[in-house]
Chains A and B, each alone.
Chain A
Amino acid sequence: MQPDLTGLAVYPLVVVGFTALAMGAAWLLRPKPRQTALKRSTYESGIPTTGETWVRFRMSYYLYALVFVVFDVEAAFLYPWAVALHQLGTFAFVEAILFILILLVGWGYAWKEGALEWK
């Protein structure tokens, strides 16, 4: 089986073409004020930025993100499960409970190890 891939080749053309069209139209239509230092700053309004953007982020953010992903994935799996539970029956119920229990152990581990405390 050799699927026809010519349809796929249209996508890059559409993507490039649409981008060029949109940006070109915006360039034609927009007002063109004089460029000043203020105009060229990253944020034209608001507080001026201080320091470099390349700073190190604390590891703690990473731990929070991981714990968040645990619950995010859990929720993503449990929504369809909850909707279809009546058709799926007891087996699916037991499976989902097992899944939650395994995640709970991981969550308990993170808690006990102090991943939820900001140090």
Chain B
Amino acid sequence: MDGGAMNFAILWPEIITSGVGVLVLAVGLLAKGETLQRSRAAAWVGVLATVAAALAAWNLQGRNLTAFFGGYRLDDLAVFFKIVVLLAAGMTLLFAPDFLVRHFVRPSDFTALVLFGVTGMMLLASALDFITLYISLELISLSFYALIAIQKGEVRPAEAGLKYLLLSSLASAVMLYGMSLIYGLTGSTYLEAIPKAFGSGQWPLLAGVGVLFILAGLGLKVYLVPFHMWAPDVYEGAPVPTVAFLATGSSAATLAVILRLFEGSFAAAGGVWVPVLLVLAIVTMGVGNLMALPQTNIKRLLAYSSIAHAGYILLAVAAGGSSGAAAVMYYTLLYAVSTIAAFAVVSVYSQAAGSSDIQDLAGLARRSPFLSFVMLAAFASLAGVPPLAGFMAKFTVFAAAVEAGLLVPAGLGLVISVISIYYYFQVIRVMYVSEPRESTPLTFGWGTRVALLLGLAGILLLGVFPGPALHMAQTAVAAGLF
């Protein structure tokens, strides 16, 4: 296969993040003491690395080439998702130190693991064969096993870490089985060889089974019902910054590979997976939104909200076509920005309150108007209120579904999404109307402030001026998936 030779120049974003990650780990070991100043320095170095990597990725736009003997694809789709995951990592590292220092976690360890995780995510967005794909996915999972259980000596994070380890391994096993079936039938691990091997004819039954197994394995990572069970428990038990990164970065990278596989390699087998994915997407929306209603813990609520949003995104995947793929990309970006902003607020208030119950948000508007305004914007955006980013994202998804002739699923999705307004605004009501239990103002560091401002700016700008991001997504899709 002619897939281009070794081309290290296109790996700059990954080289920067992995190199700085190793460096932070090494320097963190050499430096003595647990001072606040040093720990913040490690996180800021991580933030700078993500910014540098994002600039490097931005510079690689418009290349659209395949390298490393057909195993690695650098196109605008990959660049888009690389920037999204770098944004998620950077924002997480901005607000993480406040939380970490309070919970006696060494921020250099956290920073290094986030940088390794984001390296895996960027590689996953570019993976063009099953082996690169699997190794990148494992790099992400390994980073998260440690990130989830990083609070040494505490039971809940350890429990969450073990749950993630077990279910993630299960997902990997199922996905590998699916890959082995496809490999057995095509004799190639390259994604672009799959459609060529089967031609335009009917796909054999075993290939269909393989496709569905891969869908199940990847579905677990993006909270596709019925593989979503782990999400609420892991969200509740894991440290807040880890959850913010898990909810956004991990699912964004997985969606990149879902697009490449299902809109590219498995497009001809649409008859097998589209009906399954359509039904599961609608069930995912329904389960996510309905189960979010009775939640009393904000982290569990955000977990079910993530599940519901996965439903919308997968509806766009099922709709397919260039508008479906562009909708997936735009939605992922908006979801990442809104969710991280919400988690940054959760991180601040849950440290002060010592719990993450929604009741403890009471009177947040009077204790910290800025925090509650960011939360309001994030939740209104996730609920899809115009003119915020969430509205445009939902609009593009449902428009893509209608364009693909999926009128009934689009209608069902619209009706289900109305439910979400109730639970998001329930939280906003507690923040603005309920009497505060304490009146001490909430304090937070500069990093958190920058993360909150970035989130707010993203939510407003992506909503009012969706043009540039949408245009970037559409050009990326137009350039083709391999």
Contacting residues of chain B (1-40) with chain A, CB-CB under 8 angstroms:
22, 25-26, 29
Residue among B22, B185, B186 with max Cβ neighbours from chain A (10 Å): B22
* Docked-complex contact A102 and B197, CB < 8 angstroms: no
Enumerate chain B residues within 8 angstroms of A102, measured Cβ to Cβ.
Answer: 22
- Over the window 175-202 of chain B, the binary record of Cβ atoms lying under 8 Å from chain A Cβ atoms (1 yes, 0 no) is 0000000001111000000000100000
Inter-chain CA distance A102–B197, complex, in Å, is: 39
Cβ 8 A contact of B25, one of A1, A3, A5, A109: A109
Inter-chain CA distance A45–B204, complex, in Å, is: 57
Cβ 8 A contact of A105, one of B25, B184, B204: B25
* A2-B185 CB under 8 A given contacts A102-B22, A105-B22: yes
Inter-chain CA distance A11–B197, complex, in Å, is: 26
Enumerate chain B residues within 8 angstroms of A86, measured Cβ to Cβ.
Answer: none
**Interface SS of chain B:** helix
Inter-chain CA distance A1–B193, complex, in Å, is: 11
* Docked-complex contact B187 and A112, CB < 8 angstroms: no
Interface size class of A (residues with CB under 8 A): under 10
Enumerate chain B residues within 8 angstroms of A109, measured Cβ to Cβ.
Answer: 25, 29
Inter-chain CA distance A2–B197, complex, in Å, is: 8
Enumerate chain A residues within 8 angstroms of B197, measured Cβ to Cβ.
Answer: 1
- Over the window 197-234 of chain B, the binary record of Cβ atoms lying under 8 Å from chain A Cβ atoms (1 yes, 0 no) is 10000001000000000000000000000000000000
Interface size class of B (residues with CB under 8 A): 10 to 19
Inter-chain CA distance A2–B184, complex, in Å, is: 9
Minimum CB–CB distance for A107 against chain B, Å = 11
Minimum CB–CB distance for A116 against chain B, Å = 14
Inter-chain CA distance A102–B22, complex, in Å, is: 7
Minimum CB–CB distance for B3 against chain A, Å = 18
* Docked-complex contact A1 and B187, CB < 8 angstroms: yes
* Docked-complex contact A108 and B29, CB < 8 angstroms: yes
* Docked-complex contact A2 and B204, CB < 8 angstroms: yes
Inter-chain CA distance A69–B186, complex, in Å, is: 33
* A1-B186 CB under 8 A given contacts A108-B29, A109-B29, A112-B29: yes
Minimum CB–CB distance for A77 against chain B, Å = 15
Enumerate chain A residues within 8 angstroms of B186, measured Cβ to Cβ.
Answer: 1
Enumerate chain A residues within 8 angstroms of B184, measured Cβ to Cβ.
Answer: 3, 5
Minimum CB–CB distance for A119 against chain B, Å = 14
Minimum CB–CB distance for A112 against chain B, Å = 5
* Docked-complex contact B185 and A105, CB < 8 angstroms: no
* Docked-complex contact B26 and A108, CB < 8 angstroms: yes
Closest B residue to A106 by beta carbon equals B25
- Over the window 1-16 of chain A, the binary record of Cβ atoms lying under 8 Å from chain B Cβ atoms (1 yes, 0 no) is 1110100000000000
Inter-chain CA distance A105–B26, complex, in Å, is: 6
Inter-chain CA distance A109–B25, complex, in Å, is: 8
* Docked-complex contact A3 and B26, CB < 8 angstroms: no
Inter-chain CA distance A109–B184, complex, in Å, is: 41
Minimum CB–CB distance for B12 against chain A, Å = 15
Closest A residue to B28 by beta carbon equals A109
Inter-chain CA distance A112–B25, complex, in Å, is: 11
Closest A residue to B199 by beta carbon equals A1
Minimum CB–CB distance for B415 against chain A, Å = 45
Enumerate chain A residues within 8 angstroms of B187, measured Cβ to Cβ.
Answer: 1, 3
Enumerate chain B residues within 8 angstroms of A3, measured Cβ to Cβ.
Answer: 184-185, 187
| Extra 13 A-B pairs, beta carbons < 8 Å, given A1-B187, A109-B29 | A1-B186, A1-B197, A2-B185, A2-B204, A3-B185, A3-B187, A5-B184, A105-B22, A105-B25, A105-B26, A108-B26, A108-B29, A112-B29
Instruction: Identify 10 residue pairs between A and B in the complex whose beta-carbon atoms are under 8 Å apart, listed by A's number.
Output: A1-B187, A3-B184, A3-B185, A3-B187, A102-B22, A105-B22, A105-B25, A105-B26, A108-B29, A112-B29
